[in-house]
Amino acid sequence: MKLDAKIPDGPLEEKWTRYKASQKLVNPANKRKLDIIVVGTGLAGASAAASLGALGFNVDIFCIQDSPRRAHSIAAQGGINAAKNYQNDGDSVERLFRDTVKGGDYRAREANVYRLAEVSGAIIDQCVAQGVPFARDYGGLLENRSFGGAQVSRTFYAKGQTGQQLLLGAYGALSREINRGTVKLHTRREMMDLVVVDGRARGIIVRNLVTGDLERYAAHAVVLATGGYGNLYYLSTNAMNSNGSAAWVCHRKGATFANPCYVQIHPTCIPVHGDYQSKLTLMSESLRNDGRIWVPKKKEDAEAIRAGKLRANDIPEEDRDYYLERRYPAFGNLVPRDVASRAAKERCDAGYGVGTGYAVYLDFADAIQRLGKEAVEQKYGNLFQMYQKITDENPYETPMMIYPAIHYTMGGLWVDYELQTTIPGLFAAGEANFSDHGANRLGASALMQGLADGYFVLPYTLQNYLADQINVGKISSTTSEFDEAEKAVRNRLDRLMKNASLPTSNASLLTVDHFHKALGKIMWEHCGMARNTESLAKAKALVSALESEFWELVFIPGTANEFNPELEKACRLEDYFELAQLVIADALHREESCGGHFRTEHQTEDGETLRDDEHFMYVAAWEYQGHGKPETMEKEPLIYEHIKIANRNYK
Q: Which helix or strand (DSSP H or E) is residue 402 part of?
A: strand 400-409
Question: Least distance (Å) from ligand FAD to the CB of residue 282?
Answer: 4
**Among candidates 263, 270, 283, 266, which has minimal Cα distance to 341?**
266
Q: Is 231 in the site for ligand FAD (CB under 6 A)?
A: no
- What's 524-552 look like in SS3? HHHHCCCECHHHHHHHHHHHHHHHHHHHH
Question: Least distance (Å) from ligand FAD to the CB of residue 286?
Answer: 7
Choose between 157 and 361: whose C-beta lies nearer to ligand FAD. Answer: 157
| C-alpha angle 52-54-57 in degrees, rounded to nearest 5 | 50
Q: Is 116 in the site for ligand FAD (CB under 6 A)?
A: no
Question: Least distance (Å) from ligand FAD to the CB of residue 578?
Answer: 15
Which of residues 64, 158, 295, 339 is near ligand FAD by CB under 6 A? Answer: 64
Q: Is 238 in the site for ligand FAD (CB under 6 A)?
A: yes
Q: Is 71 in the site for ligand FAD (CB under 6 A)?
A: yes
Choose between 282 and 295: whose C-beta lies nearer to ligand FAD. Answer: 282
Q: Which residues between 523 and 552 bind ligand FAD (CB under 6 A)?
A: none
Bridging pattern class, strands 400-409 and 263-269: antiparallel
Q: How far is CA 277 from the centre of its chain?
A: 21
Torsion region of 37: left, alpha or beta (phi above 0 gives left; psi -120 to 50 gives alpha): beta
The answer to whether 292 is a known catalytic residue is: no
Which of residues 296, 450, 459, 520 is near ligand FAD by CB under 6 A? Answer: 450
**Among candidates 419, 439, 131, 386, which has minimal Cα distance to 263?**
439
Q: Is 79 in the site for ligand FAD (CB under 6 A)?
A: yes
Which of residues 12, 26, 38, 44 is near ligand FAD by CB under 6 A? Answer: 44
Choose between 42 and 399: whose C-beta lies nearer to ligand FAD. Answer: 42
Q: Is 479 in the site for ligand FAD (CB under 6 A)?
A: no
Contacts 24+ apart (CB under 8 A), 173-178: 173/46, 173/47, 173/50, 173/51, 173/54, 173/130, 174/41, 174/46, 174/49, 174/50, 174/53, 174/61, 174/68, 176/50, 176/54, 177/49, 177/50, 177/53, 177/54, 177/59, 178/53
Which of residues 36, 49, 76, 295 is near ligand FAD by CB under 6 A? Answer: 76
User: What type of residue sits at position 291?
Assistant: G
Torsion region of 319: left, alpha or beta (phi above 0 gives left; psi -120 to 50 gives alpha): alpha
**Choices 7-15, 74-82, 300-308, 525-533; region in contact with ligand FAD by CB under 6 A:** 74-82
Question: Least distance (Å) from ligand FAD to the CB of residue 14?
Answer: 27
Which of residues 19, 41, 305, 588 is near ligand FAD by CB under 6 A? Answer: 41
Q: Residues 85-104 vs ligand FAD: string with x where CB under 6 A?
A: --------------------
Q: What contacts 603, CB < 8 A, 6 or more positions away?
A: 593, 609, 610
Which of residues 12, 49, 80, 523 is near ligand FAD by CB under 6 A? Answer: 80
Q: Residues 275-314 vs ligand FAD: string with x where CB under 6 A?
A: -------x-x------------------------------
Which of residues 69, 216, 347, 407 is near ligand FAD by CB under 6 A? Answer: 407
Q: Which residues between 351 and 390 bind ligand FAD (CB under 6 A)?
A: none
Q: Which residues between 551 and 590 bind ligand FAD (CB under 6 A)?
A: none
Q: Which residues between 138 and 197 bind ligand FAD (CB under 6 A)?
A: 162-163, 189-191
Choose between 270 and 587: whose C-beta lies nearer to ligand FAD. Answer: 270
> Is 313 buried (19+), middle (13-18) or exposed (0-12) by CB count in 10 A?
exposed
Question: Least distance (Å) from ligand FAD to the CB of residue 545?
Answer: 27
> Is 29 buried (19+), middle (13-18) or exposed (0-12) by CB count in 10 A?
exposed
Question: Least distance (Å) from ligand FAD to the CB of residue 426?
Answer: 14
- State the DSSP code for 235: S
- Please say whether the beta carbons of 633 and 623 come within 8 A: yes
Choose between 206 and 519: whose C-beta lies nearer to ligand FAD. Answer: 206
Q: Which string of b and e fits 55-88 if b means at least 16 CB within 10 Å?
A: bbbbbbbbbbbeebbbbbbbbbbbbbbbbbbbbe
Q: Note the maximum CA span of the chain.
A: 76
Pairwise CA distance, residues 147 & 80, whole Å:
9
- Please say whether the beta carbons of 408 and 266 come within 8 A: yes
Q: Is 62 in the site for ligand FAD (CB under 6 A)?
A: yes
Q: Is 78 in the site for ligand FAD (CB under 6 A)?
A: yes
Q: Is 40 in the site for ligand FAD (CB under 6 A)?
A: yes
* Of 69, 207, 337, 611, catalytic: 337
**Choices 41-49, 496-504, 617-625, 639-647; region in contact with ligand FAD by CB under 6 A:** 41-49
Number of residues that bind ligand FAD (CB under 6 A): 46
Which of residues 150, 386, 447, 489 is near ligand FAD by CB under 6 A? Answer: 447
The C-alpha torsion from 394 through 331 and 530 to 604, rounded to 10°, is -150
Which of residues 36, 50, 150, 246 is near ligand FAD by CB under 6 A? Answer: 246
- Please say whether the beta carbons of 86 and 62 come within 8 A: no
Q: In this structure, is the dihedral angle defined by the CA atoms of residues 570, 573, 575 and 578, taken in order, positive or negative?
A: negative
Choose between 56 and 228: whose C-beta lies nearer to ligand FAD. Answer: 228
- State the DSSP code for 558: S
Choose between 245 and 469: whose C-beta lies nearer to ligand FAD. Answer: 245
Pairwise CA distance, residues 167 & 73, whole Å:
7
Site for ligand FAD, rule CB under 6 A: 39-45, 62-65, 71-73, 75-80, 162-163, 189-191, 225-227, 237-238, 242-243, 245-246, 282, 284, 407-408, 430-432, 444-447, 450
Any idea which residues carry the catalytic annotation?
337
